[in-house]
Amino acid sequence: MSTPPLTDEPEEWPVTSSTDLHRDDWVMALRADHVQRPGHTDKEPFRRLVLEHPGAVIILAVDDEDRVLCLRQYRHAAQRRFVELPAGLCDVEGEDPLEVARRELVEEAALEAGEWTRLTSAYSSPGISDEQMHFFLARDLRAADRGDFVLEHEEADMETFWVPFEELRAAVLDGRIGDAPVILAVLMAHARGLVTPG
């Protein structure tokens, strides 16, 4: 028995019908697709919900002392205040995720970075969403002016603070932090030797 390739591959199954369950002028929508398994036209199509999402960027911003800029932000869907990293939506069609990351770091953290490293890209929940998250390590940080950008809603209540990387990694490993993007960013940066505990 041959082993399949150890890589994700593009594939598209036939959709016999698609219905918008919600779509408005925001960047996300929910639809119901009826999907047919290839080569099984004698079987009834099955229903799958799809949350359309433009994608997101997550920034692990690390200063010269190997401290990470963290945020504490309320998330209504989970009814929880999470320790997070600066992040944002790829809501300008065709914009390079790195440019989104640069903009989001200024808007959320009032910081610019002189050095950027792509950590990875990952799908957040491919069973229901097409959201792809793009992770970046930002170094050589300096203060930046937000310009006319104003924090609103949950962001207006957001706290920012600096945490030594080793403390953040320990909090990830012992389960005190449950935000998947933080976990992935910290573990990827450590596994690749880009940030190491002191």
Calpha distance 11→33 (Å, rounded): 16
Calpha distance 86→108 (Å, rounded): 6
Identify the CA nearest to 107 among candidates 71, 74, 150, 70: 150
Calpha distance 185→169 (Å, rounded): 10
Calpha distance 36→29 (Å, rounded): 22
What secondary structure does DSSP assign to 95-140, as a single string?
A: --HHHHHHHHHHHHHSEEEEEEEEEEEEES-TTTB--EEEEEEEEE
The first and second tokens of residue 190, run together, are 């450590």
Q: Which of 155, 159, 166, 167 is catalytic?
A: 155
Tell me if residue 155 is catalytic. yes
Catalytic residue set:
155
